[in-house]
Structure 1
């Protein structure tokens, strides 16, 4: 069984194409409004560079990668856990367009088939290339893992530092935010409740 991992196949809304010429013109206006001279050395090419960056960031394609479930699990019903931690994802907070540096741990309990490990990182990074909220990014990753793994037992933890907290407002330098989504056997009361967080933390600290 194969599944093409594309923006359409997973729960990442595909953005429209970026009008780089319009974006560059708007950044030129912004520089003027900030009291800068957009024609001075150092700034004259900045609007075009920033427009290219927006296009690169928002038009990111997770890739048409064949996700093949070729390996049977060792036991019917599956006693194995697959957890990938330490996936670094960069995104932008949609409230202030400030940087979010996020570390993702994601896992699932295989139920008859396994997912290529790189696909978990691919899914996580696809959700980062958007104007985001940490909670929405986490839930999107969990939804995609539930879909492509075919397992009801999925867990995702995201720990992030937010420039909108550290560089403005409260200026809480060093503050981190952790969000967790657990399903099936990872949920409270399930046989693996708590185990995912322990294993994810150990993997992230290596």
Structure 2
């Protein structure tokens, strides 16, 4: 059976709904059976919500001289989609930076992380993108991001084994091994 063979195909005007209907058909389901009738609409709405995510304002600063203090925000959890399989992965992030004459508003770290997670991604690029934006909005090169993620493309398919992947970006004072990097790693892995 193809999409053209279905009685309701001509009434489906949303291309994402049509894709969802065809997907259901291809995996042997009937998109018109009870329980699946609204699935194409929900599928289309979810994809739009995911890809149209608006992070809001991320440049909110507060004047504060920290005299070299390191600021870390940990346990930020984001969900993204693996660009190779279109399957979700979750990533727990720890972000650190050394402020100059101002500090970034706390919620802005999560907003930035979500902005980059709400697109097709690979974890390595996700942590790099977050690091680059944090550096830009905080006006410092002293930024580090550690991400620990479980990828359903490994857990649910292929090898079918859960595992955590860790990827990191260390710039500025975090690039070399020493107290700032050691402190960050200790915090990032303290819940392991």
* TM-score normalised by the chain length of structure 2: 0.88
Q: Tell me which residue corresponds to 1:40.
A: 33
What residue in structure 1 maps to residue 91 of structure 2? 102
Match of 2:172 in 1: 184
Distance in 1, matches of 2:58 and 2:144, equals 23
8 Å CA contact 2:58, 2:108 repeated in 1: no
Distance 1:150 1:190, change over 3 A: farther
Which structure: greater helix fraction?
A: 2
Structure index of larger Rg: 2
Q: C-alpha separation between the residues in 2 aligned to 1:66 and 1:157?
A: 20
Residue equivalent to 1:72: 64
Q: 1:52: how far off?
A: 0.4
Equivalence for 1:91: 80
Between Structure 1 and Structure 2, how many residues are aligned?
180
Structure 1 contact 106–120 (Cα < 8 Å) conserved: yes
Q: Does 1:171 align with 2:140?
A: no
What secondary structure is seen at the aligned counterpart in 2 of 1:67?
Answer: coil
Distance 1:69 1:127 in 2: 20
1:83–1:200: 8 Å Cα contact kept in structure 2? no
Provide the rounded CA distance (Å) in 1 between the counterparts of 2:118 and 2:17: 20
Q: CA deviation at 1:45?
A: 1.1
Using the TM superposition, give the Cα deviation of residue 189 of structure 1 relative to its aligned residue in structure 2, in angstroms: 4.2
CA distance in 2, matches of 1:179, 1:47: 35
Structure 1-normalised TM-score? 0.83
1:154 to 134, 137, 143: 143
**Counterpart in 1 of 2:109?**
120
Distance 1:30 1:68, change over 3 A: closer
Compute the RMSD of aligned alpha carbons. 1.6
Cα distance in 1 for partners of 2:55, 2:61 equals 19
Whether the aligned pair in 1 keeps the contact of 2:116 and 2:126 (CA below 8 Å) is yes
Residues 62 and 105, structure 2, Cα contact 8 Å, conserved in 1? no
Between the aligned partners of 2:180 and 2:38, the Cα distance in structure 1 is 53
List gaps (5 residues or longer) in structure 1: 1-19
The runs of at least 4 aligned residues of structure 1 exceeding 3 Å deviation read none
